[in-house]
Amino acid sequence: MTDTLPACPECSSEYTYEMGDLMVCPECAHEWSPAEAAAAADAEAAAGVVRDANGNPLADGDDVIVVKDLPVKGAPKPIKSGTKVRSIRLVSGVGDHDIDCKVDGFGPMQLKSSVVRKA
């Protein structure tokens, strides 16, 4: 048995235990196979699913909200947290910038999905 067991994927409970080849959550009674969960996560990453800071999947045309102040090179002020960005487009950008959008007052730019949440 390992020292740290994964949290329940259904309710995020940390009190999981092993029962044969399965993991079991005593709080919600969810049973899952860690191997199948890892394979599903790998398939999702290969499919290019982009997730926001809270883990919600993003799609083209979604509206997002910036979750922290973002300094912009050449701009006198940062993009403030709470700024709403409308109609994003998912792209394979420079580095890990995967959102192409237009921010009011700043113009077109690319953002990381880790600094936004779905509106």
Q: Is residue 58 part of a domain?
A: no
CB 100 within 8 A of CB 93: yes
How is residue 48 written in tokens?
Answer: 């290019």
Q: Is residue 1 part of a domain?
A: yes
Read off the pLDDT of residues 42-89 as tens digits, 9 standing for 90 and up: 666 666 788 899 989 999 999 999 999 999 988 899 999 999 999 999
Domain at 33, CATH number: 2.20.25.10
Q: Is residue 79 part of a domain?
A: yes
Q: Which of 61, 35, 34 has the alpha carbon at shortest distance from 50?
A: 61
Read off the pLDDT of residues 3-18 as tens digits, 9 standing for 90 and up: 688 888 888 888 899 9
46 vs 115, residue with greater confidence: 115
User: Residue 2 — pLDDT band, cuts 50, 70, 90?
Assistant: very low
pTM: 0.61
Q: Is residue 106 part of a domain?
A: yes
Q: How many structural domains does the chain have?
A: 2
DSSP 8: P
| Owning domain of residue 90 | 64-118
